A = this chain, B = another copy of it.
Amino acid sequence: MASFGGHAIPGGFFLLLGLWLTVKYVLHHYWRRNKAKGRPVVPLFFKRMNYGEGGMAVFASFVGIMVEQFVVSGPHAHLYDRENNSWVKLMNWQHSTMYLFFGIYGIVLLASTASRLVPVGVDRLALSMALFVEGFLFYYHVHSRPPLDAHIHTLLLVAVFSGSASAMLEVFMRDNVIVELFGSCMFILQGTWFYQIGFVLYPLSGPEWDLNQHDNVMFVTMCFCWHLAVALLLVACIYSTVWWMVNRLSGRGGDVEIGMRNTSKTSSQKALLEASDEE
């Protein structure tokens, strides 16, 4: 990952995940506020979104692990080199471990969407753990680097651990839109901050950054706050856009909302049937 691209790829991944989660949570929130009283079952529409999200997470983490392992300079699934008595490419192994936990999140999300036997909220716990493991490995990753390098990664940890805490909170407070959007905001922040790390450590153009200058550390701290402001703005824009679009489509008898309502009705009937079968 010691390149601009190596930071841009996870950055893009987290950014997309954050944007996706924002859209999903706004739709959830819209549905919760406008649903009829007697239909507590989540519509098929949301189930499909979860299947897609879970499948993507499993797929992306599988690809990530494979790339980290079998890239030319990778460890090729060798952990210990007995000849030199040394570990082989621990960095790649650490990144594989991080991907593994996002894969576990995907599997848990799939399982909890598919079966009602999985306790509600376990997917949030798995997401919280994936973020915790990411932050945990980064934390010990950063030791003994130049001040700016260490600092810029420490700021990443703020976003990672805030996201982890927020996901943990969602285990206990389901369906609180503020916590949900805060979590997705932290993903967006993490994503854009990965890009920022890439720009600072491996600038595409212009002079190198002096990694020991205190002013750079001060600027980077402030820059993190600007990223946070941008992430908040993005979430607010997506919130209003999605809400407005869904409202408009549903208002003029449009297709999307009607489709959503229709699938939700049939899905709730199916879910009831499934429920009676299972018991």
Using a CB–CB cutoff of 8 Å, the interface residues on chain A facing chain B are 29, 85-87, 90, 93-94, 97, 100-101, 104, 117, 119, 121-122, 125, 129, 133, 136-137, 140-141, 143-144, 158, 171-173, 176-178, 181-182, 207, 214-219, 221-222, 225-226, 228-229, 232, 243
Contact yes or no, A178 B225, CB < 8 A:
no
Name the distance in Å between A173's Cβ and chain B's nearest Cβ: 7
| Complexed CA–CA distance, A29 and B178 (Å) | 24
Name the distance in Å between A186's Cβ and chain B's nearest Cβ: 12
A117-B243, A136-B225, A141-B218 given. 16 additional CB < 8 A pairs?
A: A87-B215, A87-B218, A90-B218, A94-B218, A119-B178, A119-B181, A122-B178, A125-B182, A129-B228, A133-B228, A136-B221, A137-B221, A137-B222, A140-B221, A143-B214, A172-B173
Q: Hey, which chain B residues are within 8 Å of A181, CB to CB?
A: 119
Name the distance in Å between A101's Cβ and chain B's nearest Cβ: 7
Contact yes or no, B226 A177, CB < 8 A:
no
Interface hub of A93, A144, A158 (most chain B Cβ within 10 A): A93
| Complexed CA–CA distance, A144 and B140 (Å) | 19
Number of identical monomers bound together in the oligomeric complex:
4
| Complexed CA–CA distance, A272 and B74 (Å) | 64
| Complexed CA–CA distance, A216 and B85 (Å) | 11
Nearest residue (CB) in B for A117 is: B243
Nearest residue (CB) in B for A143 is: B214
Contact yes or no, B117 A207, CB < 8 A:
no
Q: Hey, which chain B residues are within 8 Å of A214, CB to CB?
A: 143-144
Q: Hey, which chain B residues are within 8 Å of A178, CB to CB?
A: 119, 121-122, 125, 171
Name the distance in Å between A23's Cβ and chain B's nearest Cβ: 16
Contact yes or no, A85 B207, CB < 8 A:
yes
Contact yes or no, B222 A97, CB < 8 A:
yes
